[in-house]
Amino acid sequence: MPCPEDLAVSAGQESMSEIQSPPIRILFAGRQAILRAGLRRLLAGEPGLEVVGEALGLSAGIRAAVEARADVLLADFESLAVVDRAAMASLDSGRHTVHALLLAEPDTEKAEIAGALRLGVRGVVPRDAGAGLLIEAIRSVVLGNIWMGRESIAHLGEALLLLGDARGNPDRRKTFGLTRREIEIVAKIVSGYANKEIARKLGISEDTVKHHVTNIFDKIGVYNRLELALFAIHHGLVQKKDDED
């Protein structure tokens, strides 16, 4: 007859198994059947991953991924040319997000990768990457990170800066009416800092940061921090060195 301690351990083990995270649901999209089959074989049996379907092309893949409530849509980079921003936006309903992860040729231009990220793609993996790297990328984007090449980047703004996706002469940048302090705050927002962190780093109150952020939104004409980060990077308003401590 099991002792109370054994029963307690058994109950604890059952509880742990019940709260295990559900598998990451993956859907493939691409015109090459051999590639889709290869990806299915590559990920089959991988713990914590589940292949829920495949589609012929990215447009069909987006619809299928949304319907299947997939977590990751894995597709060819080239197929991105046939979809628009509205189609990509449909991957995030507000209640569920499908993270688009694309396979690209190793020599894909940085400008093309930056354009994909601005369109809503969550990561780009080289075609010559090994299985381990692809699986790491899948897990990373589901956690909310950006995957670029062979590494995980915490924030979209940082990824775009690393890609050199900033326009204009860094020595003669337009300020769009922003003060020096406001530009400092924009740089922190691009790097992914929250208001509380910005206040601590700049030695000002959180209410002062909020006031500056409101002014920045009004001057530039954006409505949220993501729009601000993309605007700042696109126009060369901040550079990577602006946020160096």
Nearest alpha carbon to residue 183 among 158, 213, 223: 213
- Specify if 15 maps to a domain: no
Say yes or no: 130 and 32 in one domain. yes
- Specify if 14 maps to a domain: no
Q: What is the pLDDT of residues 176-221, one digit of tens each?
A: 889 989 999 999 998 889 999 999 999 999 999 999 999 999 998 8
Say yes or no: 102 and 144 in one domain. yes
Q: Quick one: pLDDT at residue 48?
A: 92
- Specify if 125 maps to a domain: yes
- Specify if 172 maps to a domain: no
Say yes or no: 85 and 198 in one domain. no
Say yes or no: 156 and 47 in one domain. yes
- Specify if 120 maps to a domain: yes
The CATH number of residue 228's host domain is 1.10.10.10
Say yes or no: 203 and 148 in one domain. no
* Residue 65, SS3 per DSSP: helix
CA 75/CA 27 separation, integer angstroms: 9
Q: How confident is the model at residue 168 (pLDDT cuts 50, 70, 90)?
A: very low
pLDDT at 7 over 50: no
Say yes or no: 197 and 140 in one domain. no
Q: What is the pLDDT of residues 28-55, one digit of tens each?
A: 988 777 777 878 888 877 889 999 988 8
- Specify if 13 maps to a domain: no
Say yes or no: 187 and 158 in one domain. no
Say yes or no: 78 and 184 in one domain. no
Nearest alpha carbon to residue 191 among 226, 224, 157, 220: 157
- Lookup: tokens for 125: 């993996």
Q: Quick one: pLDDT at residue 101?
A: 95
* Residue 94, SS3 per DSSP: coil
The CATH number of residue 72's host domain is 3.40.50.2300
Range of the domain at 195: 180-243
Q: Which of 15-19, 112-116, 164-168, 231-235 has the lowest mean pLDDT?
A: 15-19
Q: What is the pLDDT of residues 125-140, one digit of tens each?
A: 998 888 889 999 999 9
Name every residue whose Cβ is closer than 8 Å to that of residue 10 and which is 6 or more positions away in sequence.
2
Q: Quick one: pLDDT at residue 106?
A: 87
pLDDT at 63 over 50: yes
Say yes or no: 150 and 218 in one domain. no
**pTM confidence score:** 0.63
Question: Of the candidates 136, 162, 188, which is a domain's last residue?
Answer: 162
Say yes or no: 132 and 48 in one domain. yes
The domain total for the chain is 2
Nearest alpha carbon to residue 22 among 134, 136, 142: 142
Say yes or no: 207 and 105 in one domain. no
Most trustworthy range by pLDDT among 21-35, 53-67, 156-170, 222-236: 53-67
**H or E segment and range at residue 85:** helix 85-89
Say yes or no: 37 and 118 in one domain. yes
Question: Of the candidates 115, 135, 162, which is a domain's last residue?
Answer: 162
Question: Of the candidates 100, 135, 162, which is a domain's last residue?
Answer: 162
Angle between helices 131-142 and 33-43 (to 10 degrees): 80
Q: Quick one: pLDDT at residue 17?
A: 42
